Structure formats: C-alpha cells, structure tokens
Structure 1
Amino acid sequence: MFVINSLAGGGAERVFTTLVRELNGADRGFAITVALLDEEAEEAYHLPPGIPVERLDTRGGLLRSVTQLRRLVWRLRPDVTVSFLSRANVAAVVAMRRTGGPAVISERVNTTAHLKSGRFGFLSRLLIRRTYPSARKIIAVSEGVAQTLEADFSVERERICVIYNPVDLERIRAMAAKPPEIEVFADDFVTVGRLVANKNTAMAIRALAASQSQGRLIVLGEGPLRDDLAALAAALGVADRVLLAGFVANPYAVLARAGCYLLTSNAEGFPNAMLEAMASGLPVVAADCPSGPAEILQVSLDGENPAFGTGGALVAMNDHVAMARCMDRLVEPIVRDVCVQQGQARVDAFSVTRAVEAFRDTILSATAGNGVLPG
C-alpha cells in the first residue's frame, strides 16, 4: 500500500505517481493499492487505470489520519506500506503496528530545518522521534536528509538508505517541446514552488531588483503569500517585471524557453524542480539551503562567496545580492552554455530506472522475513 496525503501539485506527489506507475504489476512483483489521506477537489497527478485507490477524509488532521489509516490497514492487511511526507509517514508507522507488518517511509524534506520552530514544530519533531526509528526502512532523498534523521531523530543509520528523486528525462523533453501556456523570453528568470514562507520567493524578487538584467522573473506556483509578493515587487519597482503565473500544467515548456532558474528555499529535502530545470536546459542559481542544492551542483561555498559548480552557482541563503551577481554572470553566453552542458550531463545520474530499482530493492529488503515472496 502506497500512502500519501493527496495528489495535489508538488514534487513528492509527482515522484509518488511515477513510482506507483513503474512498480505496479506482475513483472515488478507488486500489486499496489494507493491510500490518499485527504480528499482533494482537483488532483494535479493521475494514477494509471486499474490501480485501486482508497480515498480517506482526514481533512489534514494527524489524529484522523492515524485512526482512518489504521482501520484501512486492518481491513486490507497490506504486506508493506510505503509512505511519503511526514504526516503520512507517522500515520503509516502507527497503523502497521496493529498488524505487525513493515512500514517503509520516504522522508522528502530536511526534517530539522522544516520543523525548526513553533509549538506545532515541537510536537511534530516529538512525534517523528517516537515513530520514525521503528520504521523498517527509511528512504531519504539526499545525504543531508539522512544525516539529519540520524543526528536529530535517533534513527539508526542501518535503517536509512538514500535514493535520489527520479527525473523522467523523456517526459520532460517531450513536454518541453509543446507550446507554453504563457509568453516566455530567453532572458527571463524562473522559479517554481508554492508561495509560502519556506520557499522564500521574496529573495528571488529582491535579486531581480538588484541585478543588471532587464529580464523578468516568472514565478510558477500558487499560495497564501501571493499578495505579499506582489506588494514587495511594487515596493522594489519591479512589479512590471514579476509575473506571478500561478499553477501551470506544463512548467517544462516555460523552463525550456527561459534563461535561468532560481532556487531560493530556506529548506529542501531534494529540489525536484531544480533538477527538472537543469534537464530542460537551464543554468541554476541556488541558495545553499539544507539540503540538496549543494549535492546536485557538487560544490560547497567558500565562506560567503558564491561558488560555481556542475550546472550553476551556489550562494548563501538569503544573500540576494550574491544571487543577483550570479544571475548577471549566467546571462553571458559562454558561461551559460558551459553550465547548461554540465547540468544536462549531471541529471543523467537521477534516472527513473535507477530510482525505481532502488525503491524495489528497498521494499523487498524490508519485507524479508515477513512471509512476502520477492517478485
């Protein structure tokens, strides 16, 4: 049973859907049922026909998630659960205790950074400490996430394996060839993500205002900070150069025609959109947040100075001035071409085939000894 909060737009949901599609079937050794904790009016990603889907109605509540998933697990008796995202992970570990079956959880964020503050952050960290260590296997999306789970949440390193997110190059390139939904120019900068505090889209707007470029900033994503970001762009005098485009069904067509990708997050587990931008032929300027960007670019900062790596530049978190300097550098054709070539070569290490086989091996390893026959 694969478990996730919902199939609303997001990187975790996209990876989840890809893995379900690729792992389901007799040739892979799995018959998959999907459990969605929350009912969504619209789903951004769609599962292949024929896969049973159990839609629960937890309304985002952890206690309801645990209670309803426990009932579902007891009724269906899955051999193993594979869950994505913290709430689904906690619920799956607790639910599987009732049957004694193994739970495999996939941690998609840098847990410490993601839950670093607030009353609910403290409660969430406590719940994770009480549940994650008893999962049979924990799949971390980066080495940084793995180190955090071990150091801050008492998870044994032997239970953790690192599997990078898959990049479906064939699909990305096919979609990139289609006409974009919005007008895009070669000197435009693009950033992708929900308009929430953690994505720090304000840094991208400030960097645009500080750069020498005359290009625009295209923001793909929706969220509660839309009005605040629009007000910031107006205050900095770049309102006419910031396009808050909302959710775009085919972001790859936009990425493929732009000039540079910006990642400004305060924390990431593993930045899918950054890799997909590189696969689409964009150089990247990324904030050195925990965790993922430095691993992808294969570079580390020398103090506060920006560093150019495999496919783009890394800058200190919240340093919009350094980001602006790198943006100006990457519009230079020679520098841009080198970064694009390096970036597209780098994404080959994150193929769907590698990720699917690694997930399959991990699931079968988790079920060994539980009477589950490998496929």
Structure 2
Amino acid sequence: MPGSHRRKRAVFIINSLAGGGAERIMTTLLRASGPWRDRYDISLVLLDRERGAYPVPDWVDVIEFDSRHRLLPGVLALRRLLAELRPEVTLSFLTRANVSNIAATWGTQTTCIISERVNSSAHFGGRMRALASKLLLRLSYPRADHVIAVSDGVAQDLVRNFAVRSNRISIIPNPVDHALIETLGAKPMVPPVEGEFVAATGRLVPNKNFAMLIEAFAQSGLPGSLVILGEGPERRRLEAQIARFGLQGRVRLPGFVDNPFAILKRATLFALPSNAEGFPNGLVEAMACGLPVVATNCASGPSEILLDRAREAVQGLVPCAAGAVVPTNDPHAFAEALRLVHDPAMRALRGAAASAITRKFDIVPTTGRYWETIEKIVTASRRPPFSAHGSGIATSGQVS
C-alpha cells in the first residue's frame, strides 16, 4: 500500500483523450490513483492536440504535444520532455503511444511499461500498411521493460506473434467504476430513446462489425429498436444498409454520446458483434449496468469474461448465465442468440448474473494491481536483466 516515501515521478502517455474506450480507461485509472499521490508525482502526456472527451483529475499535470498523429514528432517531443522530467517510470496506452514510449525511453534510466489494449494481429488485418505496423511492433515491443495486457488472448498474441517474452507480461483487465456508472445511469437519456431497445456501443469501423448486427437484428424479429452509440467512417455504409432492410426509425445511430450509461441502463439487452477486441470495455460496462448480453467469440475477451474459457475452446452458439456467445460474423447465429437472450422470463436473472461478473473488475482493486505492477517492475529494472526463460505470463498483476 502507499506509504510515506520520497515521491517519484510517473508519466502516463496516450495519443489523446478524444472519445474512445482506451481514453476513458486512462482517465478512470488516473482518477482512482489518488492514494498513490504521496509516492508519485503523476503526469499525463497527450501526443496529439485534440478536443478531450474525458476529464482528468486536477492534481494530474497534463502536457499536450501537437504531433498530428505522426510517430516521429511524438517520439522527439516525448524524449525531450522525459530528459527534463527524469521520471522513474512511464506507462502508455495504444500502439503509437506505446512505440513512442519505447523509443523515447530507450537507453535511459526510466522504466518503460506499455499497455496493449487490442489483439494486434486481429486489429491490424493483412493490408501492406498493417504489415508494416506489425513489423514495427515486433521490433519495438520486446524492448519495453514490461507489457500489461488486458486479456489472456492479447497476452498470447504478443508472445506468439510479436516476440514479447512471457515473463515480461502481466494480465490486468480494465477497471470498472461501478459507483460512477450508477450515478451517470440515473441521469436522463440524451438523446431520449422511446420504447424497448437493444443497445450497442463502439466506433463505427469495420472491426466492430455493426453491419452484421444490423442484419442479425433484421432477422431476429425482435420488437422495438436497435441503438448503436458511436461515430466513425462506416456511418454512411451503415445508413445505406439500414435503408436496404427498411429499418429507418428502428435502427438509430445517434453518434458519440457523452453519457452512454443513461441509455444502457434502460436498454433490454446489449450486443457486441465485433470481429476483434482487446478487452471489450463496452461489453463489461453494459454488464455493470445489469444488461444481459450477446457477444461474438472474437479475439479477445468475450469468452474469457462470459464463459471463463479460452476462445479456442468455444464452438457454435453457447448460452451462459449472462447471455450468449456466438461465432464471429454469423448473422443467423447472432439473431438466434438475440431471441434467446431477449426472453423476458430469464432477462432479469441474466442481467443480475452479468452485473455480478463485473465486480471482479472493480476500479479499486484493479487500479491497485496496476500500481503494484508498476512498483515491482521499477524495482526489478534496477536488478540484472530478466531471465531469457520466463516461467509464464503473470496474472492479477503478479510478475514472474
């Protein structure tokens, strides 16, 4: 636990605080880090100058660059700053911030910790630019002092495909602020949604596969509407698909919403149609709102959260206490699962089970695991290098 020692400096790094799951988790983590203020001066570096969607505690020193989404300017600016601040440790979220963190701390006394939020192999796909990104990760990620993965699937992907040694990985899921979700969930819905509805959240991008969800909803015959919260480049394509299915007025795309919890609290169930996730924040936060869920068995996270099983061990449509897990990109199976989980006789029980599962991700113990890992790695980095033969990936913040 925090004690009365000389304060060190910890620098957190992320691309920006524009709307997104990783950005929200970064501010959640910082907000819960107050008990460590007597041990650390805490700074937050934003690589890009963008309008922030999430507030930062006023005791966190915020430094904003203007890298314009480019890697090299961010690396150079960050290296200059770290030379001035001389922090004991850095912790970064998101790929570009992670690579910048590794490059800026290379050859210094600063302990470099990165957090991988996505299943990188599934996230990047197979295009030429994606292949270049994968190569950059394979060259850089093994040079971090430690990697925090948000799920076992993400951790295994780092070991198999990006040459990260297993003894340099800890698995810590994203924190869930139940008290804040309850407070925000009690507020009025903006925008208001009338009647019964299925909810989904996420950026409107191909990997989230909302096109499949719209098709499944059309096949399901469920009453009411489908509300997809989020914005992104797929909007026009999705709007055209909604028109083709004749679902105007029944499928709504309200865009980015400041308070999604007020809407989630009033939904019938939650749908996660993704082809790839790291740790599905939207799924867990919807479960914390007491919603039963239908989720694809994507890489990574849903099967671990809902079934406590590896993705590879799950085949077909699998009902569970909190809802159902279905194969990826299968609208027929997803429609069947929507009908199953929509059943009013079981909906309340499934919602209660979903909420109970999320308690293991509560903000206080999860934030504690982050800081325990930070302090262990800072201490370990002052000793001889890690053994080349790790004893395995560490869980619950434990370092092998």
Partner-residue secondary structure (3-state), 2:23: helix
Q: Does 1:18 align with 2:28?
A: yes
Gaps of 5+ in 1: none
Out of 155, 165, 169, the residue aligned to residue 174 of structure 2 is: 165
For the aligned residues, what is the CA RMSD?
A: 1.7
Gaps of 5+ in 2: 1-10, 384-400
Q: Does 1:249 align with 2:258?
A: yes
Q: Which amino acid aligns with 1:86?
A: T
Q: Which amino acid aligns with 1:115?
A: F
Contact 2:71 2:100 in 1 (8 A): yes
Q: What's the TM-score, normalizing by structure 2?
A: 0.89
Q: Residue 64 of structure 1 aligns with which residue?
A: 73
Q: Quick one: structure 1 residues 310 and 106, their matched pair in 2 at CA, closer, same or farther if it must change by over 3 Å? A: farther
- Identity across matched positions, percent: 44
Q: Residue 285 of structure 2 aligns with which residue?
A: 276
Deviations 1:283-319 (A, max 9, x none): 1000111000111101668875311124111010011
Contact 1:74 1:98 in 2 (8 A): no
Q: Residue 333 of structure 2 aligns with which residue?
A: 322
Out of 42, 48, 58, the residue aligned to residue 32 of structure 1 is: 42
Distance 2:171 2:314 in 1: 28
Distance 2:303 2:333 in 1: 16
Distance 1:197 1:263 in 2: 13
Q: Which amino acid aligns with 1:55?
A: E
Distance 2:36 2:356 in 1: 33
Q: Quick one: structure 1 residues 303 and 367, their matched pair in 2 at CA, closer, same or farther if it must change by over 3 Å? A: closer
Out of 203, 212, 227, the residue aligned to residue 203 of structure 1 is: 212
Distance 1:234 1:112 in 2: 33
1:24 deviates by 4.4
Q: Quick one: structure 1 residues 309 and 356, their matched pair in 2 at CA, closer, same or farther if it must change by over 3 Å? A: same
Contact 2:88 2:109 in 1 (8 A): no
Q: Does 1:339 align with 2:360?
A: no
Distance 2:138 2:382 in 1: 28
Q: Quick one: structure 1 residues 198 and 28, their matched pair in 2 at CA, closer, same or farther if it must change by over 3 Å? A: farther
Q: Which amino acid aligns with 1:152?
A: N
Deviations 1:273-292 (A, max 9, x none): 10110111111000111000
Contact 2:119 2:300 in 1 (8 A): yes
Contact 2:155 2:171 in 1 (8 A): yes
1:79-94 correspondence to structure 2 within 5 Å: 79-94=88-103
Contact 1:299 1:309 in 2 (8 A): no
Q: Residue 109 of structure 2 aligns with which residue?
A: 100
Q: What's the TM-score, normalizing by structure 1?
A: 0.95
More moved, 332-341 vs 253-262: 332-341
Q: Quick one: structure 1 residues 230 and 361, their matched pair in 2 at CA, closer, same or farther if it must change by over 3 Å? A: same
1:186 deviates by 5.5
Q: Residue 368 of structure 1 aligns with which residue?
A: 379
More moved, 292-301 vs 254-263: 292-301
Q: Which amino acid aligns with 1:305?
A: G
Q: Quick one: structure 1 residues 303 and 281, their matched pair in 2 at CA, closer, same or farther if it must change by over 3 Å? A: closer
Partner-residue secondary structure (3-state), 1:205: helix
Distance 2:65 2:323 in 1: 42
Distance 1:193 1:182 in 2: 17
Q: Which amino acid aligns with 2:121?
A: T
Q: Does 1:3 align with 2:13?
A: yes
Partner-residue secondary structure (3-state), 1:63: helix
Q: Quick one: structure 1 residues 310 and 132, their matched pair in 2 at CA, closer, same or farther if it must change by over 3 Å? A: farther
Q: Residue 179 of structure 1 aligns with which residue?
A: 188
Q: Residue 124 of structure 1 aligns with which residue?
A: 133
More moved, 331-340 vs 146-155: 331-340
Contact 1:180 1:253 in 2 (8 A): yes
More moved, 24-33 vs 58-67: 24-33
Contact 1:192 1:273 in 2 (8 A): yes
Q: Quick one: structure 1 residues 25 and 169, their matched pair in 2 at CA, closer, same or farther if it must change by over 3 Å? A: closer
1:27 deviates by 5.0
1:183 deviates by 2.6
Residue correspondences, number: 371
Distance 2:321 2:357 in 1: 7
Q: Does 1:307 align with 2:321?
A: no
1:76 deviates by 1.7
Q: Does 1:142 align with 2:151?
A: yes
Deviations 1:208-242 (A, max 9, x none): 11011122110100111111100001111112211
4+ residue runs over 4 A deviation: 24-28, 299-304, 369-372
Contact 1:101 1:370 in 2 (8 A): no
Distance 2:36 2:334 in 1: 49
Distance 2:21 2:168 in 1: 24
Q: Residue 235 of structure 2 aligns with which residue?
A: 226
